[in-house]
A = this chain, B = another copy of it.
């Protein structure tokens, strides 16, 4: 069964189909959007493109992991042009992260990988880092506090989106959602008073207590609260963080 040709094509013809790397990448993204990252396979991709699996490898020049990292890079490319900053650094950050989330929502299965794999997280996204750093410098951050604030923002907000768009485990039992819902109703009042009290607003609409992915039930207002609170907190704590760092010796390359 291994060598069965993808479909009937002009019988035993061979070569020169005219596949390009861009076509492979596009088809791969479509397939992940459709099946999810877990169910995606090179072999299924090759079937859709009507070629042998090895043809994919020729165009890719790498492994499946490399393909994933190229796919995720398309999400953050061109989020914001360099000149496109807002006058206020807070508005710049808010706009940037909102755009990121919207881009992620278009490819939920891919976006989830950005948080889940370091390689999907590299210097291809440097343009985004530059904007965050520029905004934070405008806010008065520098040195180690600048580096920390940058990672706090990217990690917190990209991490939120990663979790929000986490897929249901593809191999889970079909009755999983129902048993999840039932488990919420069975939480004992004595042990979980606050959870039960807020349940109408939390049920399937908050982390830990939801069974649907954010692709189906988006957590819009929680995202807004995260972005606003984090920016407000960073603004508030700037002076203290900078003072502590300068007092500790402030040399670049040294740890605060």
Q: In chain B, what residue has the closest Cβ to A68?
A: B169
* Contact between chains at A145 and B256 (CB < 8 Å): no
Chain A 73-117, CB within 8 Å of chain B: the 1/0 string?
Answer: 000000000100000000000000000000000000000100111
A30 within 8 A of B: no
Q: Which of B159, B201, B234, B237 contacts A158 (CB 8 A)?
A: B159
In the complex, A168 has a CB within 8 A of chain B: yes
Residues in chain B near residue A130, CB distance under 8 A: 191-195
Q: Which parts of A107-156 form the interface with B (CB within 8 Å)? A: 112, 115-123, 125-130, 133-134, 137, 143-152, 154-156
Contact indicator A187/B123 (Cβ below 8 Å): yes
Interface-forming stretch among A3-11, A17-25, A43-51, A209-217?
A209-217
* Chain B residues near A137 (CB-CB < 8 A): 194
> Copy number of this protein in the oligomer?
2
Measured as residues with beta carbon below 8 angstroms from the partner, the interface class of chain A is: 35 or more
Contact indicator A149/B225 (Cβ below 8 Å): yes
Q: Please name all residues of chain B whose beta carbon is closer than 8 Å to the beta carbon of A1 when the two chains form the complex.
A: none
User: Are A208 and B161 in contact, CB atoms less than 8 angstroms apart?
Assistant: no
Chain B residues with CB under 8 Å of A219's CB are 151, 155
Q: Report B-chain residues with C-beta under 8 Å of the C-beta of A233.
A: 228-234, 236
